[in-house]
Structure 1
Amino acid sequence: MRIHNREELSKIREMAAGKVSSTKCRILICAGTGCLAGGSGEIYEKMCELTKDCKDVDVEFGPEIAHGSEHPVAVKRSGCHGFCEMGPLMRIEPLGILYTKVKLEDCEEIFERTIKHGNIIHHLLYKQDGVEYPKQEEIPFYKKQTRLVLKNCGHIDAEHIEEYIAVGGYQAFAKVLFEQTPDDVIETILESNLRGRGGGGFQTGYKWKQVARQQEKTRYIVCNGDEGDPGAFMDRSIMEGDPHKMIEGMLIAAYAVGAQEGYIYVRAEYPLAISRLRLAISQAEESGLLGENILGTDFSFHLHINRGAGAFVCGEGSALTASIEGKRGMPRVKPPRTVEQGLFAKPTVLNNVETFANVPMIIDKGAAWYRSIGPEKSPGTKAFALTGSVKNTGLIEVPMGTSLREVIYDIGGGIKGDAHFKAVQIGGPSGGCLITPHLDVSLDFDSLKKMGAMIGSGGLVVMDDKTCMVEVARFFMNFTQNESCGKCVPCREGTKRMLEILEKIVAGKGTLEDLNLLDELASMITDTALCGLGKSAALPVMSTLRLFRKEYEEHVVDKKCAAKNCTALRRFVISPERCKGCSKCARNCPVGAISGQIKKPYVIDDSICIKCGACESACAFHAIHIEA
Structure 2
Amino acid sequence: MHKKILICCGTGCLANGSQAVVDEFISASLGMEVDILPDVKKVGCNGFCENGPIVTILPDHITYYKVHPKDVEDILGSLNGEPVERLLYKDDAGKPVLSREENPFYASQLKIALRNTGMIDPGNIDDYIGTGGYEALRKALSYHRKEVIKEIEISGLRGRGGAGFPTGKKWRSCFEVPGETKYMLCNGDEGDPGAFMDRSILEGDPHSVLEGLIIGAYAIGASQGYFYIRDEYGLALAHVQKALEEARARGYLGHNILNSGFSFDCEIVRGGGAFVCGESSALMASIEGKVGEPRVKYIRSVEKGLFEKPTVLNNVETLANVPYIIFHGGTEYAKLGTDGSKGTKVFSLVGKVNRTGLVEVPMGITLRDLVFQIGGGISENRKFKAVQTGGPSGGCIPEKLMDLEIDFDSLKDNGSMMGSGGIIVMDESTCMVELARYYVNFLAGESCGKCTPCREGLRCMLEILTRICEGNGEPSDLDLLEELSYTASLASLCELGRTAANPVMSTIKYFKDEYIEHIDNKRCPAGACKSLILYEIAKEKCRGCSLCAKNCPVNAIKGELKKTYEIDQDVCIKCGTCLSKCPFDAITVL
Helix, strand or coil: the match of 2:3? strand
Give the deviation of 1:577 after TM superposition. Answer: 3.6
1:12 counterpart residue number: none
Give the deviation of 1:613 after TM superposition. Answer: 4.9
- Residues 564 and 301 of structure 1, relative CA distance in 2, 3 Å threshold: same
- Residues 294 and 601 of structure 1, relative CA distance in 2, 3 Å threshold: closer
Q: Encode CA deviations 1:313-341: one digit per residue, 9 max, x unaligned.
A: 00000000000011110000112111111
- Whether 2:88 is the aligned partner of 1:125: answer yes
- Whether 2:4 is the aligned partner of 1:33: answer no
CA–CA separation in structure 2 for the residues paired with 1:88 and 1:31? 8
Give the deviation of 1:556 after TM superposition. Answer: 1.4
- Residues 365 and 431 of structure 1, relative CA distance in 2, 3 Å threshold: same
1:65 counterpart residue number: none
- Residues 243 and 55 of structure 1, relative CA distance in 2, 3 Å threshold: farther
1:554 counterpart residue number: 517
Pairing of 1:269-348 with structure 2 (within 5 A): 269-348=232-311
Give the deviation of 1:223 after TM superposition. Answer: 0.4
Q: Encode CA deviations 1:327-364: one digit per residue, 9 max, x unaligned.
A: 11000011211111111110001000010111111111
Helix, strand or coil: the match of 2:73? helix
1:101 counterpart residue number: 66
Residue among 148, 151, 163 paired with 2:112: 148
CA–CA separation in structure 2 for the residues paired with 1:126 and 1:599? 42
CA–CA separation in structure 2 for the residues paired with 1:494 and 1:76? 51
Pairing of 1:148-547 with structure 2 (within 5 A): 148-178=112-142, 180-547=143-510
CA–CA separation in structure 1 for the residues paired with 2:87 and 2:555? 50
CA–CA separation in structure 2 for the residues paired with 1:166 and 1:211? 33
Read off the aligned partner of 1:38 and give its amino acid letter. Answer: N
Return structure 1 stretches of 4+ with deviation > 4 angstroms.
578-610, 612-624
Contact conserved, 1:185 with 1:256, CA < 8 A, in 2? Answer: yes
Q: Encode CA deviations 1:24-81: one digit per residue, 9 max, x unaligned.
A: 111110010000000001111111112235463xxxxxxxxxxx56xx4211110101
Give the deviation of 1:557 after TM superposition. Answer: 1.4
Read off the aligned partner of 2:44 and give its amino acid letter. Answer: G
Q: Encode CA deviations 1:79-99: one digit per residue, 9 max, x unaligned.
A: 101111211100110010110
Moved more, 603-612 or 435-444: 603-612
CA–CA separation in structure 1 for the residues paired with 2:551 and 2:205? 54
Q: Encode CA deviations 1:480-507: one digit per residue, 9 max, x unaligned.
A: 1111111111111111111111111111
Q: Encode CA deviations 1:175-216: one digit per residue, 9 max, x unaligned.
A: 1112x1001111111111110000001000110011111122
- Residues 219 and 47 of structure 1, relative CA distance in 2, 3 Å threshold: same
Pairing of 1:577-592 with structure 2 (within 5 A): 577-578=540-541
Structure 2 residues not aligned, in runs of 5+: none
**RMSD over equivalenced CA pairs, Å:** 2.3
CA–CA separation in structure 2 for the residues paired with 1:594 and 1:27? 53
1:139 counterpart residue number: 103
Helix, strand or coil: the match of 1:387? strand
Contact conserved, 1:54 with 1:73, CA < 8 A, in 2? Answer: no
TM-score normalised by length of structure 1: 0.89
TM-score normalised by length of structure 2: 0.95
Read off the aligned partner of 2:408 and give its amino acid letter. Answer: F
Residue among 112, 117, 123 paired with 2:77: 112
- Residues 207 and 607 of structure 1, relative CA distance in 2, 3 Å threshold: same
Give the deviation of 1:606 after TM superposition. Answer: 4.8
Give the deviation of 1:440 after TM superposition. Answer: 1.0
- Residues 623 and 377 of structure 1, relative CA distance in 2, 3 Å threshold: closer
1:63 counterpart residue number: none
1:51 counterpart residue number: 29
CA–CA separation in structure 2 for the residues paired with 1:429 and 1:135? 36
Q: Encode CA deviations 1:210-248: one digit per residue, 9 max, x unaligned.
A: 111112220000000000100111111110001000000
Read off the aligned partner of 2:63 and give its amino acid letter. Answer: L
- Residues 580 and 415 of structure 1, relative CA distance in 2, 3 Å threshold: closer
CA–CA separation in structure 2 for the residues paired with 1:434 and 1:360? 34
The higher radius of gyration belongs to 1
CA–CA separation in structure 1 for the residues paired with 2:164 and 2:69? 43
Give the deviation of 1:623 after TM superposition. Answer: 4.8
Q: Encode CA deviations 1:131-167: one digit per residue, 9 max, x unaligned.
A: 1101121111111111111111111111100010011
CA–CA separation in structure 2 for the residues paired with 1:393 and 1:587? 33
Contact conserved, 1:254 with 1:260, CA < 8 A, in 2? Answer: yes
CA–CA separation in structure 2 for the residues paired with 1:219 and 1:532? 24
Moved more, 44-53 or 599-608: 599-608
